[in-house]
């Protein structure tokens, strides 16, 4: 298993491979998701035999903030510690950029997983979603 980080200027070379990975898992419109991928700051992924088996996108200002989104490991590759390695790799990539505030949003059933990966609630802050 190999971990890789794709910088913004390289993303276009990987779009089709990333769409092939995400599409069956998220069942999203391919053109809609293409735009999301193309507008990512960095994409981190895990691959075996050139096939992507885990991935996340990082939205960032490349200085202070980074937000990890669409973190997913292919169901057939789960239970091997891949998710833990990938999230640690993504966090390290954010730190390399100098980002000090690295966050993510997750479903309640995944909180324990992310706590074990050194994520936790930020005291005094609450996630708010725009509803307008």
- Binned at pLDDT 50, 70 and 90, residue 101 comes out as very high
Q: What is the mean pLDDT of the chain?
A: 93
Q: Which of 75, 87, 70, 71 is nearest to 36 (CA)?
A: 70
pLDDT at position 119, please?
92
pLDDT at position 69, please?
95
Q: Token match 């999203």: residue?
A: 28
Residue 49 lies in a domain: yes
- Domain with residue 24: its CATH number is 3.40.630.30
Average pLDDT over residues 74-103: 94
Residue 72 has pLDDT above 90, yes or no: yes
Residue 119 CB contacts under 8 Å (≥ 6 apart), including other chains: 87, 103, 104
pLDDT at position 114, please?
93
Range of the domain at 110: 2-116
pLDDT at position 123, please?
87
Q: How many CB atoms lie within 10 A of CB 13?
A: 9
Residue 128 lies in a domain: no
pLDDT in tens, 8-62: 999 999 999 999 999 888 888 889 999 999 999 999 999 999 999 999 999 999 9
Residue 126 lies in a domain: no
pLDDT at position 125, please?
85
């Amino acid at each position: 298993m190999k971990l890789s980080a794709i910088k913004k200027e390289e993303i276009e070379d990987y779009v089709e491979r990333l769409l092939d990975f995400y599409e069956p898992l998220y069942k999203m419109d391919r053109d809609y998701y293409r735009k999301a991928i193309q507008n990512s700051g960095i994409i981190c992924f895990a691959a075996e035999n050139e096939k992507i088996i885990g991935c996340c996108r990082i939205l960032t200002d490349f200085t202070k903030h980074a937000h990890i989104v669409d973190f997913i490991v292919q169901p057939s590759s789960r239970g091997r510690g891949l998710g833990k390695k990938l999230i640690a790799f993504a966090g390290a990539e954010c730190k390399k950029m100098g980002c000090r505030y690295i966050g993510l949003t997750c479903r309640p059933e995944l909180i324990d997983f992310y706590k074990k990966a050194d994520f936790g609630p930020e005291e005094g802050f609450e996630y708010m979603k725009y509803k307008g």
